[in-house]
Amino acid sequence: MSNDALGRVRGFDPAKLAAVGPALQPFIDRGELAGIVTLTSHRGRVVQSEALGWSDIETRRAMRPDTLFRIASMTKPITSAAALMLVEQGRIALSDPISRWIPELAERRVLRNAAGPLEGTVPAQREITLEDLLTHRSGIAYAFFSEGPLKQAYEEALGDPAMNRLTPDEWLAALGTLPLAYQPGELFHYGHSTDVLGFLIGRLLGRPLDRVLREMIFTPLGMESTDFWLPRDKRSRLAILYSYDEAAGRLAKVVPDMYDEPPAYTPGGGGLISSAPDYHRFARMLLGEGENDGVRLLKPETVRLMRTNRLTNAQRQVPFAGMPLWQKSGFGLGLSIAEDPVDNPYACGAPGSITWPGIFGTWWQADPVHDLIMIYLIQHQVPVSANSGATIATGRGAAGRRALPVYQHAIYGALQGG
């Protein structure tokens, strides 16, 4: 933003706000990140926006405010919002068993030990419900957050969770051959629950999830650059994904597979490509209790349900990816809710702030206390395993991830009295 624009920002210290970009630039100068895009709004008005570094180091293509990013699990809140729109319409209820639409997941078997042999199972005590999917208490796992034989079984049956050549029906049939890691409702276990939720939405409405999201959310909110697929003529807008090569001492390009045409497989848990301005429109809708710029998608009471913790006290004692996250945050319907923002790996600022980040370092937060939205986008791959949450969230073992708290502290440090 220009100095003149910064000077007109109300509620912030202009000098501190102007210092956000310079505070982040060293991560790029040291070669720890290729580039960063940030967008911050206060009371509906953009007060800070930065596009730093490169979307492609090799070609020296600069980051732009509208650069596109693989937002990974930032897809989950969008799919969850679509499901809750259908709840409001009476098409489905939180307590409904999902086998009504996905018979492949009826009569589940459950591992006696989540890391034990696949043959050691017991019958599920009840059906998986819609609420179980929204709160990751279905017992459905991810390969990379699993241990023991289940990890390999997921990899072999389902393949890549992001880029996949299976149809939704084929993928659900494959998932149906696998046991659950835990009993439905037993605990928060991060996995493919939101992918299943997206395919359930598609079956319920009789059309693919990408079309559903476009019609129900993207078009009404003006999210014109958000999709599961990127045609060749738009790929120059997509930021390159990098990882840090320890042996070479520098960032190395990661080249994920890309579709040549719109895919049948559209994972509602992690497949979207989007931009800071587009995701800001979605976050504004949530912060506005279901409405943004005169467009209402959800009732206020539904959004309040989304940001109300559903985890029991016992479930909150179980670490998430090796972190005691639920000691600091709750989890509602598709979102985490900050309760104690001090030293919280996923949130900052004020209690009640909502978020859910993406595995490539993308992060956002909507703070209802300060009417503040923060969006921070990078493309930075780190190793992922069942206990890698500290690396993913805080940068331990991945220096580039340490730029996020710099951004967070700088914005709140510049805020004057809310």
Is 76 noted as a catalytic residue in this protein?
Answer: yes
**Hey, what long-range contacts does 338-343 have (CB within 8 A, 24 or more apart)?**
338/365, 339/309
76, 154, 346, 407: which one is catalytic?
76
Q: At what angle do helices 403-414 and 20-29 cross, to 10 degrees?
A: 170
73, 275, 329, 388: which one is catalytic?
73
Tokens of 405: 């708290």
Is 73 noted as a catalytic residue in this protein?
Answer: yes
Contact in structure between 372 and 415 (CB atoms under 8 Å): yes
DSSP letter at 143 equals S
Q: What is the DSSP secondary-structure string of 211-236?
A: HHHIIIIIHHHT-TT-BS---GGGGG
190, 242, 279, 346: which one is catalytic?
190
Query: Strands 121-123 and 109-111, how do they pair?
Result: antiparallel
Tokens of 153: 């079984």
Burial bucket for residue 220 (CB in 10 Å: 0-12, 13-18, 19+):
middle
**Tokens 């992060």 label which residue?**
363
Alpha helices in 89-215 (DSSP H): 130-134, 149-158, 168-175, 193-205, 209-213
In whole angstroms, give the CA distance from residue 316 to residue 61.
44
Query: Strands 329-331 and 250-254, how do they pair?
Result: unpaired
Contact in structure between 262 and 208 (CB atoms under 8 Å): no
In whole angstroms, give the CA distance from residue 17 to residue 411.
7
In whole angstroms, give the CA distance from residue 226 to residue 238.
12
Contact in structure between 271 and 279 (CB atoms under 8 Å): no
Give the catalytic positions in this structure. Answer: 73, 76, 190
